[in-house]
Amino acid sequence: MSTRIPYKKINQFSVLLVIACLACVQAWSLLVYVDDQRFLESLMNTLARPTLSSSEQVMASLEFFRKLPVVNNDHQYFLLPIFGFLRPTPRQIVEGGGDCADRSRLLINLLHIRGIEASKWALYSENLIPEHAVVEVMMEKGKMVVDPLFGLVFPDGQGGYHNIHDLRSNSNILRSRLNQLQLTGVEFGAVAIEKYPLDRYIYQYARTINWDKNSMMKMLYVGFSLVFGNKVNEIPRPYIVEQPALMIFWGMMCVQMVFILLWLVVRR
C-alpha cells in the first residue's frame, strides 16, 4: 500500500528548501566579503599609512593603479555567471586588473577601508553615451576628482583640488591639466596622457549613475528626471553597488523575504 505525500506538504518543503539555499548563498557572500575586506585592508596598509591625509592616501594609491593591468574584466564575476552584470569584485580587480570602471570601484573600496568617502562618476560623450568612469573623493579640503586609469588629479593652485562641479563648469581645467602633463612628459597612469580622448570623456555630461545599462535603468532615469530634474544626475551613489558580495547578500535577503511570506501563506 503506497503512502501519498500531501501536495500541501510538498509545497511547504519546496519553499523551505529554497529559503535554505538562499540562506547558504547569503552566508557564503558574507564570508567572501569579510575575507576580501581583510585582503584589501592589508593591501591598503602597504600603499599608504593611515596617518596620511586623504589626498596623500589617494596619491599614494595611484602608484599602484599605474602598474595594474588594463584589461576588460567581463569574464570575471562573483560566485556565478548569472551575477556577471555586477562586474568583478575589488579583489578580482587587484588580482587581474581592469578598466576605468573597475579601477574606480577598487579605489572607492580601498579608501572606504580608511573611512574616506568616495563615489564613482560616469563621463558621457556629446551624444550621451557612457564612455569613462572617475572617482570623486572627499578630502581634507573639499572634494577632488581622481582618474585611476590615466592617473589624473586636478590641483587648483591653492593647495587643493578641483571637484566634479569645477570640471563640469569649466572644460579648460581638463585641457590645461593634460597639456601640462604632456609638456612634463611624466606619466602617472596606466594609459599615456596622449591617448586621452577629449571628444569622448566629457565632464560636462557627468552623472553619478550610468542610467544606460538597460531598459529598466533608462525608464527609471526618465521617471526620476520628472521628479528631480537635472538633480537626477547627482543622486548619491550608494557604496553597496561597488561590492558585488554585498549586493548578492541583500538581494538574496529580499528574495528570501518573499519566499518566507509564501511559506506562511502555504502553511495555512
- State pTM to two decimals: 0.88
- Decide: helix, strand or coil at residue 82: helix
Q: CA dist 3 to 6, 8, 12, 14, Å?
A: 9, 15, 18, 19
Q: Is 145 exposed, middle or buried (0-12, 13-18, 19+ CB in 10 A)?
A: buried
User: Which pLDDT score is estimated for 40?
Assistant: 96
Higher pLDDT, 184 or 47: 47
User: Which pLDDT score is estimated for 11?
Assistant: 67
User: Which pLDDT score is estimated for 9?
Assistant: 57
Q: Is 231 exposed, middle or buried (0-12, 13-18, 19+ CB in 10 A)?
A: exposed
Q: Are the C-beta atoms of 260 and 232 separated by less than 8 Å?
A: no
As given in the structure block, the three cell numbers for residue 182 are 604632456
Provide mean pLDDT across the span 164-182.
Answer: 94
pLDDT digits (tens, 9 = 90+) for 69-118: 998 877 787 877 888 788 899 999 999 999 999 999 999 999 999 999 99
pLDDT digits (tens, 9 = 90+) for 105-160: 999 999 999 999 999 999 999 888 889 999 999 998 899 999 999 999 999 988 89
- The alpha-helical segments, DSSP class H, found in 140-243 are 164-169, 172-184, 215-228
User: Which pLDDT score is estimated for 1?
Assistant: 46
Mean pLDDT of the chain: 88
